[in-house]
Amino acid sequence: MNDLYKTIVFHLGNDTFKISTFLLFLLFGFFINLLLRLIKKVIYKTDKFDIAKKYAIYNLARYFILIFAALIGLQILGFNLSVLLAGSAALLVGIGLGLQTLFSDFTSGIIILFDSSVKVNDVIDINGLVGKVLQINLRTTTVLTRDDKYIILPNSDLTKNQLINWTHNEVASRFEVSVGVDYSSDVSLVMKILKQAVEKQKGILLEPVPFVRFTDYADSSLNFSVFFWSDDVFRVENIKSEIRVRIFKLFNENNIQIPFPQRVLHIKNEIGKTEHLV
């Protein structure tokens, strides 16, 4: 039996690989897999963290364990790490220069997982792209947009660009719907209708109380905005659409006009008379 364990499978330079070496390597791999499962079970079982925090902690632990496991695994197979690192130092420098962006993504991934500025299920806005975070890996983050498209973002994009995290503090966010009405409109009635349209809408919060603001005297209209809070941040555009439909119906019922932009042109003819075109 001992002779079987000592049987040489193949040679690689001056190194020999025996059956016992491979068995030890497989046993070590089984142990690492068991350790990762145990760590995941312990982390996800605790009630001290929310699901997003558990995800971040487990992934950080998994990445570090896999890195150390890979180094130990090479030593089990008989590779001399110090010789490998010394011999490939120049190569690693060249590769490092060529892979700066990749390393930046890895570093950003570690930062994101550590500080939890972005977590799984967060709704983020980066350069106008709104999406829900589905998965955070060491190099990339996967988000689902409001158009139900899956976007894979390099982690460096999340740390280098200005980012809005709508759900960072787990509180509802404030939104607004704006509309312009004709100058002949009853201002009090308009504000009453706008608030009424919002209060009947599903998906908004009644606390804080929605409110209406007279925002501006525009060229062709009186402009108003109705403000409300919602915790359905990801699908809030659907809520806004329904509110606009209700506002339009209520305006029609109360003979309130939404004006078209108007321009007055003064044209002088050959006789010197001025004509007015609207």
Residue 34 lies in a domain: yes
Residue 177 lies in a domain: yes
CATH label of the domain that carries residue 239: 3.30.70.100
In this structure, the answer to whether residues 36 and 58 fall within a common structural domain is yes
Q: What is the mean pLDDT of residues 241-246?
A: 94
d(CA 107, CA 115): 12
d(CA 78, CA 101): 33
**DSSP single-letter state for residue 23:** H
d(CA 130, CA 123): 7
Most confidently modeled range among 73-82, 105-114, 129-138: 129-138
Residue 13 lies in a domain: yes
Alpha helices in 46-88 (DSSP H): 51-76, 81-87
Which residue reads 């001992």 in tokens?
2
Most confidently modeled range among 33-42, 91-100, 161-170: 33-42
Residue 268 lies in a domain: no
Residue 152 lies in a domain: yes
Q: Which residue type occupies 211?
A: F
Question: Per residue in 30-60, pLDDT tens?
Answer: 888 898 888 888 888 877 666 767 777 787 7
Residue 126 belongs to domain spanning: 116-165
Domain count, the chain: 3
Residue 266 lies in a domain: no
Residue 130 lies in a domain: yes
pTM of the entire predicted model: 0.57
Q: Residue 103 — very low, low, confident or very high, per pLDDT cuts 50/70/90?
A: confident
Q: Which of 140, 148, 247 is nearest to 189 (CA)?
A: 247
Residue 202 lies in a domain: yes
In this structure, the answer to whether residues 12 and 45 fall within a common structural domain is yes
Lowest mean pLDDT among 50-64, 167-181, 234-248: 50-64
* Cβ pair 180, 218 in contact under 8 A: yes
